[in-house]
Chain A
Amino acid sequence: ETGVTQSPTHLIKTRGQQVTLRCSSQSGHNTVSWYQQALGQGPQFIFQYYREEENGRGNFPPRFSGLQFPNYSSELNVNALELDDSALYLCASSLASASGETQYFGPGTRLLVL
């Protein structure tokens, strides 16, 4: 186990709704990244937070937003849900260093948009 936890484990929403997913980082890690993994695909980078600031973003629209809290836990918010947002959402925590870092993934939240 990585020590990274995510909640909820599963979620069903309808199109147009908003959703908040939560992640608790591994102890001592100051960086959290969020990924979207569609069925049968590799994870796609959404964004990363380092010390409560966004530190890079992938090709996702602004309706995907995030927060990182002083205790380094994190939230992913998605507004105006679309059917294509149905996926496994993964967070990964890491300890940033000058030479890059190893990311440790949580179990994910499976979101279904109807």
Chain B
Amino acid sequence: QQQVKQSPQSLIVQKGGISIINCAYENTAFDYFPWYQQFPGKGPALLIAIRPDVSEKKEGRFTISFNKSAKQFSLHIMDSQPGDSATYFCAAQRGDFNKFYFGSGTKLNVKP
């Protein structure tokens, strides 16, 4: 059973547009939700993370929206740039068990 479901699989956005990637989870014991950015040939790099006690977290052009009742969270990339073209992974973790469950990834292509 996939613990974290991510959509869409791929996304094409024009430069300056908003990129939105969605994730849904099953386990209500999850209490930490990071987003990772991965460029080809590189390991995933932490982008932004949220805990369920807040509904939104913003860092620069990146915002996480969190809906605890719906068990969903999303990443918004404002003013998307070609340099944002990468694969994005959402993840979820239980604080008492240090295992991360990753979504299947979204390949973002920002066109100039």
Contacts and interface: CB of A to CB of B under 8 A. Distances in A.
Interface of A: 2, 4, 6, 31, 33, 35, 40-45, 48, 50, 55-56, 58, 90, 92, 94, 96, 98-108
Contacts of A103: 46, 100
Majority DSSP secondary structure for residues of B touching A: strand
**Contact-residue size bin, chain B (C-beta under 8 Å from the other chain):** 20 to 34
A56 B94 CA distance: 12
Interface string B6-44: 100000000000000000000000011010100001111
A105 B44 CA distance: 6
B90 to A, nearest CB: 9
A42 B43 contact: no
A58 B99 contact: yes
B86 interface: no
A42 B103 contact: yes
A101 B98 contact: yes
Nearest to B43: A105
Given A100-B93, A100-B95, A102-B49, A45 B101 contact: yes
B98 A102 contact: no
Contact of A96 (B49, B89, B98, B99): B98
8 contacts: A2-B43, A31-B98, A42-B91, A42-B104, A48-B99, A50-B98, A98-B95, A107-B41
Contacts of B44: 43, 90, 105
Interface string B68-112: 000000000000000000000101011101111111110000000
B45 interface: yes
A40 B87 CA distance: 9
